Amino acid sequence: MRSQQAEQRSELTKNGRLKHREPRWPAMVALLAVGVLRLALPEPLSAGPSWLLIVVVAILILPTVWTDRRDFYQPHRILGYILTSVVTVDMIWSLCLLVYELPAHAIAPQALLRASAALWISNILVFASWYWRLDAGGPHARELRGAHTDGAFLFPQMTETAAGQQRQGWTPGFVDYLFLAFNTSTAFSPTDCPVLTRWAKVLMMVQSLISLATVALLAARAVNIL
């Protein structure tokens, strides 16, 4: 027990911050991008004004960044969950409205294509954020371990060997989860990362279902009526 505490203390600098911290800004930029993509949706597919989501995201990002800077890890984690949940609910709501409006032909084909593309990209960014926040307890928990050995996804770096030993000190970043989410939306399955936990399998099934709805059904319908 003492040796574990000593190892954790060795990872801290004099001011109490971890020496090797995973950058949080890519996840913040991804959620802001989802708010920007919402501007591409027609008004009937938006819950409120098209600019509402990006304003809400920007407002929630401010305390999220502040708690991270102040090392308030638990409030930062809760705010991150709230922020990602708001974006997720808004995306699913827009998708439901799009499916509802499709039989009525009330949306122009060009607008339908634009909405489908925006929702497809948003789907990738939203689920990449969820994988990044949930895998192995989140970024802070991964930092404390120092190496990624116990997660929901088996990344190739976790099985690579160098001189007969497993690669040490490697931990995934947001881009790794973005790549995983992109593969899930395009291939409807993981490619290079086996899924190890039930919650990850459920999330990937939901992401694949949303991608199938936007690409195979909505975009195809829009092309047919052009």
Segments making up each domain of the chain, as ranges: 20-224
Region 208-217: what's the mean pLDDT? 82
Angle at 33 between CA 28 and CA 37, to 5 degrees: 155
Amino acid at 218: L
d(CA 157, CA 27): 21
How high is the pLDDT of residue 10?
A: 44
**pLDDT for 110:** 80
pLDDT value of residue 71: 82
pLDDT grade for 44, boundaries at 50, 70 and 90: confident
Tell me which of 192 and 166 has the higher pLDDT: 192
Query: Max Cα separation, the chain?
Result: 68
Q: Which residue has the higher pLDDT, 89 or 189?
A: 89
Q: What is the pTM of this model?
A: 0.84
Confidence of residue 1 (pLDDT cuts 50, 70, 90): very low
Q: Kindly report which listed range (118-122, 131-135, 209-213) carries the lowest average pLDDT score.
A: 209-213
Residue 11 has pLDDT above 90, yes or no: no
Looking at the predicted structure, is the pLDDT value of residue 3 above 60? no
**pLDDT, tens only, 167-205:** 566 788 899 999 999 999 888 777 778 888 999 999 999
134 pLDDT above the threshold of 50: yes
Q: Can you say how many angstroms the Cα of residue 202 is from the centroid of all Cα atoms in its chain?
A: 14
pLDDT-wise least confident of 24-38, 41-55, 151-165 = 151-165
